[in-house]
Amino acid sequence: MTDAVRPPSTREQHDPPGEIDLETYRDLTLEERAALGTELDGVEIVHRRERFPVPGTKAEKRAERAVAACFVLAFLGAVAFVVCYVVLPWQYDINSTSYTWFTPVLGVTMALSLIGFGVGAILWAKLLITEEETVQERHSGRSTPEARATTVAVLTDGIAMTGLARRSVLQRALGLSVLALGALAIVPLGGLIKKPRDALFVTGWSTGVRLMNGNRRLIRPGDIEAGGIETVFPATPDGLSTQVVADSVVLLIRLRPGQVVRARPGQQDFGWEDYVAYSKICTHAGCPASLYEQQTGRLLCPCHQSQFDLLQDAKPVFGPAARPLPKLAITVDDEGYFVAKGDFTEPIGPSFWERK
Amino acid sequence: MTERPSTTKGRRPRSRMRRRITGALALAAALGSVGVAYATVAAAATPKAQTVAAANAPANEPVDVRKGRQLYETSCITCHGQNLQGVLDRGPSLIGVGSASVYFQVSTGRMPATQQGAQIPQKKAKFDEDQTQQLAAYVQSVGGGPQIPTGDLRGTDANLAEGGELFRLNCASCHNFAGRGGALSAGKYAPSLDDASDKVIWTAMLSGPQNMPVFSDNQLTTEQKQAITNYIQTLTAQKDPGGSSIGRLGPVPEGLVIWVVGIGAIMLMILWIGAKS
Amino acid sequence: MSQTTTERPAGKRPTSALGRAADWADERYTASRFVRSSLNKVFPDNWSFMMGEIALYSFIILLLTGTYLAFFFDPSMTEVRYDGSYSLLRGVEMSRAFDSTLNISFEVRGGLLMRQIHHWAALLFVAAMVAHMLRVFFTGGFRKPREVNWLLGVGLLTFGILEGFAGYSLPDDLLSGTGLRIAYAIMLSIPIVGTWVAFAVFGSEFPGVDIIPRLYIAHVLLIPGIILALIAVHVGLVVLQKHTQFPGPGRREDNVVGERMYPLYGAKGGGFFFLVFGVLAALAGLFQINPIWLYGPYNPAQVSSGSQPDWYMGFLDGSTRIFPAWEIRFWNYTISPLIWPTVVLPGILFTLLALYPFIEARMTKDRSVHHLLQRPRDVPVRTSLGAMALSFYFVLLISGGNDIIADKFDISLNAMTWIGRISLIVLPPLAYSATYLLCLGLQRHDREVLEHGVETGIIKRLPSGEFIEVHQPLGPVDEHGHGELEYAGAPVPKRMNRLTNPGKKAIGFLRQVPDPGEAPDLGSEAGETDQQATELAGRPKNPD
**Three-class secondary structure assignment of chain B:** CCCCCCCCCCCCCCCHHHHHHHHHHHHHHHHHHHHHHHHHHHHHHCHHHHHHHHHHCCCCCCHHHHHHHHHHHHHCHHHHCCCCCCECCCECCCCCCHHHHHHHHHHCCCCCCCCCCCCCCCCCCCCCHHHHHHHHHHHHHHHCCCCCCCCCCCCCHHHHHHHHHHHHHHCHHHHCCCCCCEECHHHCEECCCCCCCHHHHHHHHHHCCCCCCECCCCCCCHHHHHHHHHHHHHHHHCCCCCCECHHHCCHHHHHHHHHHHHHHHHHHHHHHHHCCC
Residue A13 near chain B (CB below 8 Å): no
Angle of helix A58-87 relative to helix A102-123, nearest 10 degrees?
A: 160
| Interchain pair B234, A290: CB under 8 A | no
Q: B184 contacts in C (CB within 8 Å)?
A: 413
* Neighbouring chains to C with at least 3 Cβ pairs closer than 8 Å: A, B
Tell me what ipTM this predicted complex has: 0.89
How far is the C-alpha of B143 from the C-alpha of B81, rounded, in Å?
13
CB proximity under 8 Å: A 223-242 to B: 223-231
CB distance B224 to B170 below 8 Å: no
| Total beta-carbon pairs less than 8 A apart between chain B and chain C | 199
| Interchain pair C336, A350: CB under 8 A | yes
Q: C107 contacts in A (CB within 8 Å)?
A: 91
* Neighbouring chains to B with at least 3 Cβ pairs closer than 8 Å: A, C
Q: C289 contacts in B (CB within 8 Å)?
A: 242, 254
CB proximity under 8 Å: C 407-426 to B: 407-415
Q: Which of C116, C410, C416 to mutate to test the interface with B (most CBs of B within 10 A)?
A: C410
| Interchain pair A242, C299: CB under 8 A | yes
Angle of helix B198-207 relative to helix B222-237, nearest 10 degrees?
A: 130
CA distances from A213 to A46, A216, A343, B21, C507 (A): 80, 5, 18, 41, 78
Phi-psi region of A254 (alpha: psi -120 to 50; beta: other; left: phi over 0): beta
> Before B112, cis peptide (omega within 30)?
yes
| Interchain pair C40, A43: CB under 8 A | yes
| Interchain pair C195, A37: CB under 8 A | no
Q: What SS3 state is found at C544?
A: coil
User: Among all residues of chain B, which has the CA nearest to that of A212?
Assistant: B219
- Listed as ranges, residues in chain C with pLDDT below 50 are 1-8, 10, 502-544
Query: What is the pairing mode between strands B182-183 and B189-190?
Result: antiparallel
The H or E element that residue C53 is part of is: helix C51-70
Q: Which of C199, C288, C373, C403 to mutate to test the interface with A (most CBs of A within 10 A)?
A: C199
The H or E element that residue A49 is part of is: strand A43-49
User: Among all residues of chain C, which has the CA nearest to that of A250?
Assistant: C301
**Polymer length of chain A:** 356
- Listed as ranges, residues in chain A with pLDDT below 70 are 1-20
3-state SS, A131-149, equals EEEEEEECCCCCCCHHHHH
C425 exposed, middle or buried (CB, 10 Å; 0-12, 13-18, 19+)? exposed
Cβ-nearest to C286 among A107, A124, A197 = A107
CA distances from C296 to C86, C123, C286 (A): 12, 22, 22
Cβ-nearest to C87 among B160, B263, B269 = B160
| Interchain pair C123, B258: CB under 8 A | yes
Q: B179 contacts in C (CB within 8 Å)?
A: none
Distance in Å, alpha carbon of C190 to nearest chain A alpha carbon: 7
Residues with Cβ within 8 Å of B256's Cβ and at least 6 positions away in sequence, in order, are none
Q: C411 contacts in B (CB within 8 Å)?
A: 187
Closest alpha carbon to C327 in A314, A320, A288, A313:
A320
Sign of CA dihedral C242, C245, C251, C257: negative
Cβ-nearest to B258 among C127, C295, C401 = C127
| Interchain pair B173, A307: CB under 8 A | no
Q: A294 contacts in B (CB within 8 Å)?
A: 208, 211-214
pLDDT score recorded for residue B78: 79
pLDDT score recorded for residue C540: 42
Closest alpha carbon to C206 in C177, C248, C246:
C177
> What average pLDDT score do residues B227-244 get?
91
| Interchain pair A231, B213: CB under 8 A | no
Distance in Å, alpha carbon of A4 to nearest chain B alpha carbon: 45
> What average pLDDT score do residues B86-94 get?
79
Residue B33: pLDDT band (50, 70, 90) is low
Q: B17 contacts in C (CB within 8 Å)?
A: 409-410
pLDDT score recorded for residue B28: 59
Residue A295 near chain B (CB below 8 Å): yes
CA Rg, chain C, in Å?
29
Distance in Å, alpha carbon of C209 to nearest chain A alpha carbon: 9
Query: What is the pairing mode between strands A131-137 and B182-183?
Result: unpaired
Q: Which amino acid is at C311?
A: W
How far is the C-alpha of C198 from the C-alpha of A195, rounded, in Å?
10
Residues with Cβ within 8 Å of A73's Cβ and at least 6 positions away in sequence, in order, are A112, A113, A116, A120
Residues with Cβ within 8 Å of C476's Cβ and at least 6 positions away in sequence, in order, are C483, C484, C485
How far is the C-alpha of C101 from the C-alpha of B240, rounded, in Å?
17
DSSP class of A265: T
| Interchain pair A291, B188: CB under 8 A | no
A295 φ, ψ (degrees, to nearest 5): -80, -40
| Interchain pair B169, A214: CB under 8 A | yes
How far is the C-alpha of A40 from the C-alpha of B242, rounded, in Å?
54
| Interchain pair C303, B184: CB under 8 A | no
User: Tens of pLDDT along B246-273?
Assistant: 989 989 999 999 999 999 999 999 998 8
How far is the C-alpha of A338 from the C-alpha of A277, rounded, in Å?
11
Cβ-nearest to A350 among C188, C263, C511 = C188
How far is the C-alpha of B201 from the C-alpha of C238, rounded, in Å?
61
| Interchain pair B214, A227: CB under 8 A | yes
Distance in Å, alpha carbon of B261 to nearest chain C alpha carbon: 8
How far is the C-alpha of C167 from the C-alpha of C222, rounded, in Å?
12
Q: Which amino acid is at C274?
A: F
CB distance A356 to A290 below 8 Å: no
Closest alpha carbon to B154 in B102, B197, B192:
B197
pLDDT score recorded for residue C532: 43
Query: What is the pairing mode between strands C79-81 and B182-183?
Result: unpaired
| Interchain pair C271, A33: CB under 8 A | no
The H or E element that residue C23 is part of is: helix C17-29
pLDDT score recorded for residue A248: 92
Q: Which of B175, B177, B185, B273 to mutate to test the interface with C (most CBs of C within 10 A)?
A: B177
pLDDT score recorded for residue C505: 41
Q: Which amino acid is at C197?
A: V
A52 φ, ψ (degrees, to nearest 5): -130, 85
Q: B241 contacts in A (CB within 8 Å)?
A: 92, 99-100, 102-103
* Dihedral angle of Cα B225, B231, B233, B235, to the nearest 10 degrees: -160
Q: What is the largest CA-CA distance in chain B?
A: 91
Sign of CA dihedral A154, A157, A161, A165: positive
How far is the C-alpha of C126 from the C-alpha of C139, rounded, in Å?
20
Cβ-nearest to B188 among A100, A222, A293 = A293
User: Tens of pLDDT along A38-94?
Assistant: 988 889 988 888 888 888 899 999 999 999 999 999 999 999 999 999 999 888 888
